[in-house]
């Protein structure tokens, strides 16, 4: 456990925020697009598939 | 006090002006910078859940609970955009466009302002208007992160 607060570690997410953590826990992608958007979701899923590379 | 005495007194006071107090110490170079602990590059945290069947336990540790990448959705119960994203993710799951193995996790933001009851009513119960069929974490505001690399 660290003394780093959750919100600071996750870059002060507002709501809604969509983020991708790779399999090792690195924050590799983030979007604060307010309304659901298929393009943004596709981008997130692509990042998940490629592991953020 | 005669006139000369008054004038002399005023002259002396004028000369003393600005010199009656010890010089202020400069803060330059003496202020201590607030040093924040660096954010770990590999993040995890644990938080309570509603302990539903889909939550994977009453307390979830993000990194140790999932294999592979995780899609995090930060939500509040009163956030229309969050409802919208919830609907889209559910529709994509139901349409088969999202694999059942895609790790989706919702995290409640703003527990200082919203009760867990309102989150349960919105997202947590089977008859909720925006029921989430994926884990929903409820971290208190004081939650700190785990260095997932150090913990590995």
Confidence at residue B67, expressed as pLDDT on a 0 to 100 scale: 85
Least confident of B6-10, B101-105, B110-114: B6-10
Q: What is the pLDDT of residue B100?
A: 73
* Overall average pLDDT of the B74-97 stretch: 96
Q: A40 to chain B: nearest residue by CA? A: B85
Q: For B43-74, write each residue's pLDDT tens digit.
A: 999 999 999 999 999 999 998 778 889 999 99
**Helices and strands in chain A, H and E counts:** 2, 2
Q: How close does chain A come to B20, measured CA to CA in Å?
A: 47
pLDDT band at B29 (very low <50, low <70, confident <90, very high): low
β-sheet bridge partners, residue B103 = B70
- Comparing A44 with B25, which gets the higher pLDDT? A44
Inter-CA distances, B18 with B13, B71, B93, Å: 10, 64, 75
Look up the pTM and report it: 0.82
Q: What is the ipTM of this complex?
A: 0.96
pLDDT of B28 strictly over 80: no
- Pick from A2, A13, A41: which is nearest to B145 by CB? A2
Distances (CA, A) of B74 to A10, A19, B136: 10, 8, 10
pLDDT at B13: 57
Q: Using DSSP, state whether B34 is helix, strand or coil.
A: coil
Pairing of strands A27-31, B136-137: unpaired
Residues 86-105 of B with CB under 8 A from A: 87-89, 92, 98, 102
Residues A19-38: pLDDT tens digits? 999 999 999 999 999 999 99
- At residue B20, does pLDDT exceed 70? no
Q: State the pLDDT at residue B31.
A: 64
For residue B95, pLDDT beyond 70 = yes
Tokens standing for B49?
């859940």
Residues of A in contact with B62 (CB under 8 A): 21, 25
Q: Do B70 and A20 touch (CB under 8 A)?
A: yes
Distance CA B76, CA B26 (A): 46
């Amino acid at each position: 456990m660290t003394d780093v607060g959750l919100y600071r570690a996750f870059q002060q997410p507002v709501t809604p925020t969509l983020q991708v953590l790779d399999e090792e826990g690195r924050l590799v992608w983030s979007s604060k697009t307010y309304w659901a958007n298929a393009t943004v979701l596709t981008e997130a899923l692509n990042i998940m598939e490629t592991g953020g590379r | 006090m005669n006139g000369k005495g008054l004038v002399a007194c005023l002259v002396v006071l004028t000369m003393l002006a600005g010199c009656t107090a010890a010089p202020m110490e400069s803060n330059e170079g003496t202020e201590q910078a607030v040093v924040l602990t660096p954010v770990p590059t590999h993040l995890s945290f644990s938080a309570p859940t509603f302990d539903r069947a889909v939550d994977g336990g009453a307390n979830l540790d993000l990194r140790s609970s999932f294999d592979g990448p995780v899609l995090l959705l930060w939500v509040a119960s009163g956030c229309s955009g969050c409802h919208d994203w919830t609907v889209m993710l559910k529709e994509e799951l139901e349409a088969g466009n999202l694999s059942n193995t895609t790790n989706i996790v919702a995290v409640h933001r703003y527990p200082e302002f919203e009760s867990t009851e309102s989150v349960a009513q919105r997202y947590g119960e089977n008859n909720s208007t925006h029921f989430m069929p994926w884990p929903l974490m409820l971290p208190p505001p004081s939650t700190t992160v785990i260095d997932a690399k150090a913990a590995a």
